[in-house]
Amino acid sequence: MLSKIATRERTRTTGTKFSRPPPPPLARGAPLVGVLPSLLANGPVEFIRHHYEKMGSVFTVSLLQQKVTFLVGSEASSHFYKGLDSEISQDEVSQFTIPTFGPGVAFDVDYATRHEQFRFFGDIMKPAKLRTYVDLMVAEVEGYFARWGQSGTVNMKQEFEQLVTLIASRCLLGEEVRDKMFDEVSTLLRELNDGMRLVTILFPRLPIPAHRRRDRARARLGEIFSDIVRSRRGSSGGGGGGGGARHDDMLQCLIDARYKDGRATTETEVAGMLVAALFAGQHTSSSTSTWAGARLLTNPDHLRAAVEEQARLLRRHGGDRVDHAALAAMDTLQRCVKETLRLHPPALMLLRHARRSFVVRGGSGEREYEVPEGHTVASPLLLHNALPRVYRDPGEFDPGRFGAGREEGAGGLAYTAFGGGRHACVGEAFAYMQIKVIWSHLLRNFELQLVSPFPETDWTVVMPGPKGKVMVTYNRRKLT
């Protein structure tokens, strides 16, 4: 139950007056600044889990001058995901992304403009449009793995980073980047990603080397993308559809997009939206592909089930060609990716700012608390998606939990690897599609073995991924 508190006292239907609920319990002990070094080394999850186990699903910790209230589980998090931006907003807690995304987009603009910009992504990701990307993805994946030998050893993490950037450059960036400057753009994107550290959230412009590299990379990406937009607009008489060459990629959709008042997108905005889309979609998809591999290659039963599904589909769809229909039929693989994301969500924690106080039900005694205006509010996904009352043996890799008869976490807000409610990810279908294209190809064409230890998580970055190298050996094979 959620409601905004408008008055100092509330009256229930009985007419009895109740005083306002208390604020969430405050975690005792050292202020968070004192435990930062250990947080950076061990990750924030154990710290949050510890407080959750002691205090229940709603609690507050002090971080520097800020109060951060954690909400765990779907009931406590309803307002977090569904509340209006005027009441629980992203702006105040997302300013640290401005140096990365750049001017004129995302959190550098007001809510209405940002909402329209995200709508442009939503349009690009609509099912009919998505179908047109399947062939591009398949061609890219086949071309990439054709370069592997008969057998060998590779760092799966590096391979997927490269491959996902190639897919993005084909579907999103267009042929100019792909043909002429792929290496430069990949290096710049890596520097941009690497510049978003945990410390960035608190001090986005701290003059550390990673931030300097980020700023240089962002400036150069801005130049490259703006040049392309200018040249496309020039060659098509300004409208994107005139006398010049036709382009059928996402970049062209962003160039052609119009705000509700008819205004065209500017060069700076298109460049910023490309960077934002790459940032939102690339590292998330490549690290999920790596985790999915690490999970499958250490769970022989699930690996066998995924391979058998590929063999079945090969027979049913007659031939080796993966198309949209074949991808849609890969339920086992879909569940493996979904389970991977439950255990390794690339967005560890979602944040909001309480512009108005609101009431949540939770805590250890399942009572009401009022989260005061001004608090930072956090939804820790790793915990949220691993609650034993929703997921049986939540620490286990068990893709079958999403299958018929069990359907754990179905409906509502019990599974939030892609967020939910007002700000649910617009790229979810695209992400599943590209990860399934990659793994479907690997399962059909290679026998793989993980030869390094199961990866640890790198907690030093905002979007934690697998730490270090993830080495696999491969041998070509042909499924029949």
For ligand HEM, the binding residues (CB under 6 A) are 90, 118, 121, 277, 280-281, 284-285, 288, 341, 346-347, 350, 417-419, 423, 425-427, 430-431
Q: In the bound complex, what is the minimum distance in angstroms from residue 386's beta carbon to ligand HEM?
A: 15
Q: For residues 49 and 82, which CB has a smaller minimum distance to ligand HEM in the complex? A: 82
Residue least distant from ligand HEM (Cβ): 427
Q: In the bound complex, what is the minimum distance in angstroms from residue 464's beta carbon to ligand HEM?
A: 12
Query: How far does CA 92 lie from the centroid of its chain?
Result: 20
Q: In the bound complex, what is the minimum distance in angstroms from residue 19's beta carbon to ligand HEM?
A: 33
Per-residue tokens: 226? 């703006």
Q: List Cα–Cα distances, 335 to 17, 71, 413, 438, in angstroms.
A: 49, 26, 18, 15
Coil, strand or helix: which one is 396? coil
- Which one-letter DSSP state was computed for residue 381? H
Q: In the bound complex, what is the minimum distance in angstroms from residue 99's beta carbon to ligand HEM?
A: 18
Q: Name every residue whose Cβ is closer than 8 Å to that of residue 78 and which is 6 or more positions away in sequence.
A: 2, 360, 413
Report the side by side order of strands in the sheet with 446-450: 151-155, 471-476, 446-450
- Whether the CB-CB separation of 479 and 311 falls below 8 Å is answered with yes
Full 3-state SS string of 141-209 = HHHHHHCCCCEEEEEHHHHHHHHHHHHHHHHHHCHHHHHHCHHHHHHHHHHHHHCCEHHHHHCCCCCCH
Q: In the bound complex, what is the minimum distance in angstroms from residue 283's beta carbon to ligand HEM?
A: 9
Q: How many CA atoms lie within 13 A of 275 on its CB side?
A: 34
Nearest of 284, 285, 283, 290 to residue 454 by alpha carbon? 290
Q: For residues 236 and 286, which CB has a smaller minimum distance to ligand HEM in the complex? A: 286
Q: How many CA atoms lie within 13 A of 12 on its CB side?
A: 6
253 is in an annotated binding site: no
Beta bridge partners of 354: 88
Q: For residues 55 and 341, which CB has a smaller minimum distance to ligand HEM in the complex? A: 341
Q: In the bound complex, what is the minimum distance in angstroms from residue 282's beta carbon to ligand HEM?
A: 8
Q: How far apart are CA 141 and CA 437, in angstroms?
A: 7
Q: For residues 138 and 435, which CB has a smaller minimum distance to ligand HEM in the complex? A: 435
Q: How far apart are CA 343 and CA 71, in angstroms?
A: 18
Q: How far apart are CA 438 and CA 336, in angstroms?
A: 13
Q: For residues 61 and 378, which CB has a smaller minimum distance to ligand HEM in the complex? A: 378
Q: For residues 52 and 430, which CB has a smaller minimum distance to ligand HEM in the complex? A: 430
- Which one-letter DSSP state was computed for residue 392? S
Q: For residues 61 and 137, which CB has a smaller minimum distance to ligand HEM in the complex? A: 137
**Amino acid of residue 126:** K
Beta bridge partners of 419: 417
Per-residue tokens: 16? 């009895």
Rounded to 5 degrees, what are φ and ψ at 94?
A: -115, 10
Q: For residues 59 and 80, which CB has a smaller minimum distance to ligand HEM in the complex? A: 80
Q: In the bound complex, what is the minimum distance in angstroms from residue 123's beta carbon to ligand HEM?
A: 11
Q: In the bound complex, what is the minimum distance in angstroms from residue 476's beta carbon to ligand HEM?
A: 28
Q: For residues 448 and 462, which CB has a smaller minimum distance to ligand HEM in the complex? A: 462
Which residues are annotated as part of the binding site? 425
Which residue ranges are tagged as binding site for heme? 425
